[in-house]
């Protein structure tokens, strides 16, 4: 083994960006170390289904080392990168030790952020990881349980009120699914509290939900949500959140379950590179996704701030995959003595699902809504799931939910005190 001579590529993060960078280096004359603090790649577009008890964690996650087992030049390491020493070309690991690199791909993504109101985190959990999803599931299911045990009408009402903050795709998915659970899934199972009296609110500070889509689709999405029983409140900013309620300007909504889908902030590792970051902490990369002044470092996915065709590239899964693959191509080019090219985002359109049989899709000239958009959404999401078994099981679960309105993962694990 002449390890010293083989260039070492360290990839931090096993999401779409990092995993596609690793795959893009298959057969390249490098050794790759992929580091993630989790042992799995997560199919984030279906994470809201785990939070709302429609799918189990393993349905949408697969061990990174299993995905990459046949790629001989990759070593997977479950660890957390605490610091990047860009000048010394090394990363410091949480389990101890440093790892030297010749090339670094940073793909650590984003977390939800509370616009400086970190005290809200405890009362309004966000949704980025499987642990987040299980914590949200626990809160939602436990709220109905507590309502059933509550004899005071006002207190019961607060347990049956759900406020989702943020009208982006995640907020829309959560609110739509919550309404379905309350109206259909839990029907006839409670004796004292009627879940169909639950109030599900979706609060958006901007003028419309799904603001990344054309106005006509936003309006259609709002109508579909309202048909499912969701109260949509646009143009209303949240001013306070505590254990028993949410305040919108002067109005207080008594609720025991607030969910946060309003803002994200990029991983803190981006700030360690010594280059400019935007307000959300994203690294302003060069057109080829490298870091200005550090041609050996690439930043991809939600952590990167880059424009394509004059427009900022959105923080969505296809963009992260394309950036990861681009970084791999750039490293290959540089190793071969060629120049890198500028990243160009191939935008295949936008999709958002709303609930049972309802979605909106913007595919450029074609705009879909309702059932057609939902089928399209379903097809795309099952197609892109990793592994045949996952696709089969998720399809069965979906068919089952469709016919029975049941959500099989209505199982509370962990305790409210779990730091998840």
The residues annotated as belonging to the active site are 173
Give 79 or 180: the residue with its C-beta nearer to a copy of itself.
79
- Rg of the chain over Cα atoms, rounded to whole angstroms, equals 22
Strands 290-291 vs 74-78: parallel, antiparallel or unpaired: unpaired
Buried b (16+ CB within 10 A) or exposed e, 322-341: bbbbbbbbbbbebeeeeebe
Q: What does residue 350 show for φ and ψ, rounded to 5 degrees? A: -125, 150
Kindly state whether residue 75 participates in binding a copy of itself, applying the rule CB under 8 A: yes
Q: Which two tokens stand for residue 47?
A: 């994470």
Closest CA to 157 of 168, 169, 170, 144: 144
User: C-beta of 274: minimal distance to a copy of itself in Å?
Assistant: 28
**According to CB under 8 A, which one of 216, 239, 341, 418 is a site residue for a copy of itself?**
418
**According to CB under 8 A, which one of 82, 85, 119, 189 is a site residue for a copy of itself?**
189
Kindly state whether residue 342 participates in binding a copy of itself, applying the rule CB under 8 A: no
Buried b (16+ CB within 10 A) or exposed e, 384-395: ebbeeebbebbe
Kindly state whether residue 146 participates in binding a copy of itself, applying the rule CB under 8 A: yes
Closest CA to 379 of 359, 401, 405: 359
Kindly state whether residue 196 participates in binding a copy of itself, applying the rule CB under 8 A: no
User: C-beta of 70: minimal distance to a copy of itself in Å?
Assistant: 8
Kindly state whether residue 415 participates in binding a copy of itself, applying the rule CB under 8 A: yes
DSSP state of 58: G
Kindly state whether residue 395 participates in binding a copy of itself, applying the rule CB under 8 A: no
Kindly state whether residue 311 participates in binding a copy of itself, applying the rule CB under 8 A: no
Q: How many residues make contact with a copy of itself (CB under 8 A)?
A: 55
Kindly state whether residue 26 participates in binding a copy of itself, applying the rule CB under 8 A: no
Give 190 or 375: the residue with its C-beta nearer to a copy of itself.
190
Kindly state whether residue 131 participates in binding a copy of itself, applying the rule CB under 8 A: yes
x/- letters, 85..124, toward a copy of itself (CB under 8 A): ----------x-----------------------------
Q: Which two tokens stand for residue 73?
A: 């030049």
Stretch that binds a copy of itself, among 187-195, 248-256, 292-300, 354-362 (CB under 8 A): 187-195
**According to CB under 8 A, which one of 27, 69, 338, 395 is a site residue for a copy of itself?**
69
Tokens 């479950």 correspond to what residue?
78
User: C-beta of 260: minimal distance to a copy of itself in Å?
Assistant: 20
Question: HSE-up of 67 (CA within 13 Å, CB side)?
Answer: 24
**According to CB under 8 A, which one of 81, 127, 141, 213 is a site residue for a copy of itself?**
141
Give 93 or 240: the residue with its C-beta nearer to a copy of itself.
93
How far does the chain reach from its first CA to its final CA, in angstroms? 42
**According to CB under 8 A, which one of 115, 192, 251, 307 is a site residue for a copy of itself?**
192
x/- letters, 37..56, toward a copy of itself (CB under 8 A): -xxx------------x--x
CA atoms of 366 and 380, how far apart (whole Å): 16
Kindly state whether residue 9 participates in binding a copy of itself, applying the rule CB under 8 A: no
CA atoms of 139 and 125, how far apart (whole Å): 9
Give 5 or 70: the residue with its C-beta nearer to a copy of itself.
70
What residues contact 138, with CB distance under 8 A and at least 6 apart? 412, 413, 414, 416
Closest CA to 32 of 12, 16, 46: 12
* Contact criterion met (CB below 8 Å) for 271 and 277: yes
Q: Which two tokens stand for residue 161?
A: 């009120």
Give 71 or 234: the residue with its C-beta nearer to a copy of itself.
71
CA atoms of 12 and 389, how far apart (whole Å): 27
Q: Which two tokens stand for residue 367?
A: 């705009």
**Where do contacts with a copy of itself occur on this chain (CB under 8 A)?**
38-40, 53, 56-59, 61-63, 65-66, 69-70, 75-79, 95, 130-131, 134, 141-142, 145-146, 148-149, 188-192, 389-390, 392-393, 396-397, 400, 406, 408-415, 417-420
């Amino acid at each position: 083994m002449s390890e010293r001579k083989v260039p070492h590529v360290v990839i931090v993060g096993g999401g779409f960006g990092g995993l596609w960078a690793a795959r893009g280096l298959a057969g390249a004359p490098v050794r790759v170390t992929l580091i993630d603090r989790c042992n799995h790649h997560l199919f984030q577009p279906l994470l809201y289904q785990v939070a709302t008890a429609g799918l189990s964690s393993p349905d949408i996650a697969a061990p990174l080392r299993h995905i990459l087992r046949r790629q001989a030049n990759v070593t997977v390491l479950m660890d957390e990168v605490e610091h990047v020493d860009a000048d010394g070309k090394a990363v410091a690991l949480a389990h101890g030790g440093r790892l030297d690199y010749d090339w670094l791909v940073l793909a650590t993504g984003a977390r939800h952020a509370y616009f400086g109101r970190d005290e809200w985190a405890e009362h309004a959990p966000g949704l980025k990881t499987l642990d987040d999803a299980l914590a949200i599931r626990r809160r939602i299911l436990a709220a109905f349980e507590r309502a059933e045990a509550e004899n005071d009408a006002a207190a019961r009402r607060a347990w049956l009120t759900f406020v989702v903050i943020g009208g982006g795709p995640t907020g829309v998915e959560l609110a739509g699914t919550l309404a379905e659970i309350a109206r259909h899934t839990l029907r006839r199972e409670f004796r004292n509290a009627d879940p169909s009296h639950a109030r599900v609110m979706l609060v958006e500070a901007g003028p419309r939900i799904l603001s990344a889509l054309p106005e006509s689709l936003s309006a259609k999405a709002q109508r579909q949500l309202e048909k499912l029983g969701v109260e949509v409140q646009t143009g209303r900013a949240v001013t306070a959140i505590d254990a028993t309620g949410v305040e919108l300007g002067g109005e207080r909504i008594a609720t025991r379950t607030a969910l946060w889908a309003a803002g994200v902030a990029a991983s803190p590792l981006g700030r360690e590179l010594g280059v400019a970051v935007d307000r959300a902490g994203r690294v302003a990369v060069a057109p080829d996704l490298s870091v200005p002044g550090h041609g050996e470092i690439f930043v991809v996915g939600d952590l990167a701030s880059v424009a394509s065709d004059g427009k900022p590239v959105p923080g969505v899964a296809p963009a992260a995959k394309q950036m990861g693959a681009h970084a791999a191509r750039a490293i290959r080019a540089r190793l071969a003595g060629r120049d890198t090219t500028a990243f160009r985002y191939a935008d295949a359109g936008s999709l958002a699902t709303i609930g049972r049989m309802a979605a909106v899709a913007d595919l450029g000239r074609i705009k879909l809504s309702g059932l057609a958009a939902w089928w399209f959404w379903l097809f795309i999401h099952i197609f892109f799931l990793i592994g045949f078994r996952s696709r089969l099981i998720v399809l069965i679960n979906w068919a089952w939910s469709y016919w029975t309105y049941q959500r099989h993962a209505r199982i509370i694990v962990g305790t409210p005190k779990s730091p998840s």
